[in-house]
Structure 1
C-alpha cells in the first residue's frame, strides 16, 4: 500500500505507499542534489546519510526525532492509520509489520529480509504459481507467538479484500492468492495463486499478527493503543505518553537479529514551527526543511549540517470525488486545467537549490526508466478551465463563479500545519482555481489531524499525495482499481487491465502496462494530480550517522535502525 503524506510535514516514511503531505524547506547551500534526476542519471546524488559502520560508532546514546502526528490509530494497514508518520514510528519497533519478507536498496531493488524470511522462491506451471517461503526459525512476536504459517495465513485473510467490514487500504496482490498452507513444517509456508503475481515483493511486505483477526480489532483495536506485544523489531516500546505526545523506545531484548547501537529513541509529535525551535534548542536531532522559511530559521544552527536528496513524493491535488460538488467530473477536470503547476512549484521551491520539470505520474518518479508523463490536460489556465465548465453546462452566477442548476462549483482546500510556505502554496492554488471560475476557500487543520481528516475523507481537495515506489504495479491497483481506490472511480475495462498486469513477469512490460492504465484513468476520471515531487532537505545534528535522505532504502531517513548512532568523539 502507498502511504499518505502531507505536503507540510516534519518527516515522512513509507511502508509501501503511504499518504503524505507536501513537506517542509531548504536553500542553495549544502551537499549536491539541486535538481530532480532523469532516467539513467546517478541516483547516488540523491542520497546523503553520513554512512558509517556500526563498529565505528559510540555504543549507546539517544536520538530524538519529530513526527507530524502520533496516532491515534496505530494500524498502518487501515485507512485511518495509513500515514507516513505512522510508518516512520513503526519501522524500528515493528519490522514484521512494516518490512516483512522484504527489504530494499537505495535504488529500489528488493531482496529477501533474512530477519524474517530466509528464502522466497516462486515456481510457475500451467499458469499457476506456487511460492515457497522459508521463515526464520527465530522469528517471533514480542508476546512469544511464533512468526509462522499462521501469521502468513492471517495476513492473507485480513488483507485480501473479501470482507468489506475490514477497512484495508488495498487488497493488492492478496486477492490472487488461493491458499496459504504449511509445507514441511509451520516455518515453511506454501502459497498458491490463481494467477502469477509479479513483482514477488507485492506479497508479504508487512505481516499481520495472528491475533489481529477480526474487523473490530483491525479497524479500531489500535486506536490509542500501539499493541507492542504484537510487534517484532530491534527496538521495543518503552513508553507511550499520549498527553505529552511522545513515544520512547528501548532495545528489544527479544530481538534475534543485529542489536541496535543506540540505547534510546524518542519520537515527539511537533508542528513544523515547534520542530524548528526544538532543533535549534538541541532538543531533537533531525528536522526536515523542505521550504525556505524553516531553512532560513535553521540555517546557522550550531552543531548541525544539511543533508539533501530526492523526496519520494508525488501529489499536490488529492481530490475527494465522493463529496459534492467534486462528484462532477467536469469540476475535477477544471481543477486540473486551472492549475499552473510551474507557478506553484516556484512558490514551493522559492529560495531552494532545487529544479524539476512537471511530473505526470503518481506512481513513478521521472528518474525511473519506466516513467511516462500521464498528466491528462495540455491546454491549461483560467480561460481553459472556465471553458471546461461552460461545456459541461455551467454559467457564471451573480458572484462571478460558475454554477449549474443552482449548484455552484464551490469547495475548500484543506491545508495542514503551520509552515508559511505551505500556506502560500495553498493560497496560490486557491487563487488559480478562483480565476478558473470556482468558489474556493481554505480549510486549515493541524498536522496532528492529518490521519483523521484524510482517513475519514473529511475534505474536498487536499494538498497532499503519496509516497512513490520503484515499481508501479502495486500503486496502479491502489489508485485506479474501481474496487480499491477511495474515490471508487474506474470501470470494468480498466479493472481487467489492472488484474492482468500482475501476471506479467517482465518488469519493463508490466510497468509500461501500469503506466498506460494510469494515463487512461487520469484522462477519464481526474482524481489525483501531480504538482510536484520535490527535494528532501534535512538539518541533522553533527555526528549523527546513517541518517538522511535515503531514497527507497527508507523514507524515514533511517536506512537501518540497528546502525543509527553517533560518531565516536
Structure 2
C-alpha cells in the first residue's frame, strides 16, 4: 500500500509502490536477464477530445476510501493516503499543476496568473479565475486560500494536518480582492510553488478545526469537474458525475465509479468487465489482467518507492543498532529484481531518503553508510549486548524476534514482507507476518500498533521540502505528521530550515546530502526500490493511465469512438 498527498506535495501508498504502492513479485520469481526498456514520463498516447465519445462510465478500483482511512480531507494525517487522493482528484484543482516533464504551470481553470513579484522579501502574487466556484455555486475566493493556508501553517495545533511544510514559513497573507492574494515568506523559501499547487478548502471549513476533521464519511465540497453524487459506505462504491457548476471544458464521461477492491481481486474484476483499468502492482495481477481481450499494458516512470519502516518506540526497535542491523541484512537488490523485472521494467534499488534514482542530487547513501553486509549486521547486534546461541539472538533473557504488519488482500505488501522475512532469517532473526484488514492497516501504523511495516511513499516535484514531515519532528502515535517511526535527530530541524531557504541549487543539494547522512544515523526506515507505474487498461480507454509527474485531466478522460 502507499501513502501520498498531491502531485505537488508528499503521500503514503498501500501496495507495492511507495505510499502509492506497487506490488512485489512472488519471492521465488525469477528475475529476467534481458535489459528492460527505459520508461516514458507518460504511459499513454494523448487522444484529442474530438475522437472521444460523449458519455460512458469509467469503473476504477481503490484499495480503500476516506471512510476506511478515517478522513476524506487529504490535508489530514488520515486522508493523506494515495487511494483517498486518487478518488478525490476529479473533485479538485489548484492554481498550479504539474506538466509532463515535471515543470509547473498555471492551471487556467483556477488562476489567471501566479508570479514571484519580489525576492526580498519573497512575495508571490496570485490572481484567481473569477469563474471558479464551489459545487453549490458560491465563488472560490482568496479568503478560501487564506483560511486553508492558515490551517496548514500548524500555528493552530487544533488542526489535524499531515504536514505544515512551507505554510509555516508564510509571514503574511494579504487578501488584495476577492480574486487576488499575496503571500510573503519569513525568509526565502525555495519550494514556494508547492503551496500554490495545493487545492483550497472552503473558508467556512478551513477556519474551524472541528469541521476540518469532520469529513469522515464523505468528501469535501467539490471545486473540480466532477462532484461526488452517490456514496455507499456499506458497499464501498463511490460515484462521481459531471459538476453542473463546472466552468471549464465539459467532461467526456457520464460518471466515474470507484469501488474499494482488494489488490488480489482486481484482475478478476477487470476480466469480468467490472473495471476498465487496474494498476498492476504485482506480476500475478499484470499477467492475469493482460489475458482480457483488447487489454493493453501502459507504463511510465514513477516517484514512488518501497521501504520498510521501524517503530522506534517498540523494543527491540527502540535500539538504533537493531534498526541498523536489520537494514544491513535486507537484500534490497534481490527484492528490486524480483518485484520489477517480471513486469518488464528495469530494476534498481533506492538508497536515498529524499531523491529518487535519476533525480539530480541522488546519492546512494544507504549503500555508502548501511550496505548489505550480514557480518556487519551481526556485529551491531553483538555491540548492543545481543548474544547468538543455537541460532537465536537473546538479551536479558528475551529473544530477538520481529513482526511485519500486512494489509489483507494486498499481495504486493505481503510478498515484500515475505522477502524481508527471508532476508532476516539469514542472520537468525525470525519475522512473523501480522495480517490485518486493509482498512485498519494505516490506522494501526498511525496509532503505533506495529513493529515493522512495508508500504510505499510517493514522492513529489519538491522532494526536499515535502519529505521533511516523514523524518522531523518525531511526533507521537495518534498525533499529526507522517513520521511513523516516531524517532528523529534534532539536527534535522536546522538542516531542513537551511535547505528550504537556500535558493542556490548546488548549495541546497549539499545540505540535502547532509540530511541523508543524519537520517542514516538513526534509520527510521529503509528505502528499498523505486516503483514503476504499470497499468493494464481496456483498449478503448483514452487519456488515463500511468504518468511520472503529470496529473490526469479528468475532462479529457473517455472512450474512443
Q: So what's the TM-score if we normalise by structure 1?
A: 0.88
Match of 1:20 in 2: 20
- Deviation of 1:252 (Å): 0.3
* Residue 420 (structure 2) pairs with residue 429 (structure 1): yes
Q: Which moved more, 1:272-281 or 1:498-507?
A: 498-507
Aligned to 2:499: 501
The alpha-carbon distance between structure 1 residues 114 and 458, as it changes in their structure 2 partners (threshold 3 A), is farther
Name the counterpart of 1:544.
Answer: 541
**How far apart are the structure 1 equivalents of 2:291 and 2:543?**
22
Gaps of at least 5 residues in structure 1 are: 10-17, 38-42
Q: Which whole-Å deviations, capped at 9, do the CAs of 1:214-247 have from their partners, x for residues lacking one?
A: 333333x0111224xx221001111011111111
Alignment of 1:289-300 (within 5 A): 289-300=280-291
1:188 and 1:266 mapped to 2: Cα distance?
36
Listed as ranges, the matches of 1:165-564 within 5 Å are 165-183=158-176, 185-204=177-196, 205-212=198-205, 213-219=207-213, 221-227=214-220, 230-349=221-340, 351-375=342-366, 377-396=369-388, 400-420=391-411, 422-482=413-473, 486=483, 487-517=485-515, 519-554=516-551, 559-564=552-557
Q: Does the CA contact (< 8 Å) of 1:135 and 1:148 recur in 2?
A: yes
Q: 1:310 to 1:416 in 2, by over 3 A?
A: farther
Report whether the alignment pairs 1:105 with 2:99. yes
Stretches of structure 2 that go unaligned for 5 or more consecutive residues are 1-8, 475-480
Q: Which residue of 2 aligns with 1:94?
A: 92
| CA deviation vs aligned residue, 1:91-114 (integer Å, no higher than 9, x gap) | 10122xxxx221001221111222
Q: CA distance change for structure 1 residues 533 and 379 in 2, over 3 Å: closer, same or farther?
A: closer
Distance change (3 Å), C-alpha of 1:516 and 1:101: farther
Q: In 2 relative to 1, CA 423–489 (structure 1 residues): closer, same or farther, beyond 3 Å?
A: closer
Asked if the contact 1:307/1:538 (under 8 Å) is kept, the reply is yes
Asked if the contact 2:533–2:547 (Cα under 8 Å) also holds between the matched residues in 1, the reply is no
Render the CA deviation track for 1:75-128: whole Å, top value 9, x for unaligned.
111111111010000110122xxxx22100122111122222222222335x42
Task: Report which stretch shifted further, 255-264 or 427-436.
Answer: 427-436
1:254 CA displacement: 0.7
1:49-73 Cα deviation digits (max 9, x unpaired): 1311112211111111111111222
**2:121 pairs with one of 118, 124, 128:** 128
CA shift for structure 1 position 510: 2.8
Contact 1:8 1:417 in 2 (8 A): no
**How far did 1:22 drift?**
3.6
Compared CA separation, residues 335 and 169, structure 1 to 2 (3 A): same
Deviation at 1:392, TM superposition (A): 1.7
CA 1:387/1:541 → structure 2, altered by over 3 Å: closer, same or farther? Answer: same
From the superposition, tell whether residues 457 and 374 of structure 1 become closer, same or farther in structure 2 (CA, over 3 Å). Answer: same
What is the RMSD computed on CA atoms of the aligned residues? 2.5
Residue aligning to 1:49: 44
Distance 1:110 1:421 in 2: 32
CA contact (8 A) 1:49 1:307 kept: yes
Q: Deviations over 1:169-216 (max 9, x none)?
A: 111101111121211x22111212211222221213222221223333
Whether 1:7 and 2:15 are equivalent positions in the alignment is: yes
Distance 2:24 2:261 in 1: 13
Q: Is the 8 A contact 1:135 1:187 kept in 2?
A: yes
**Partner of residue 34 from structure 1, selected from 23, 33, 36:** 36
- TM-score, length-scaled by structure 2: 0.89
Shift of 1:369: 2.6
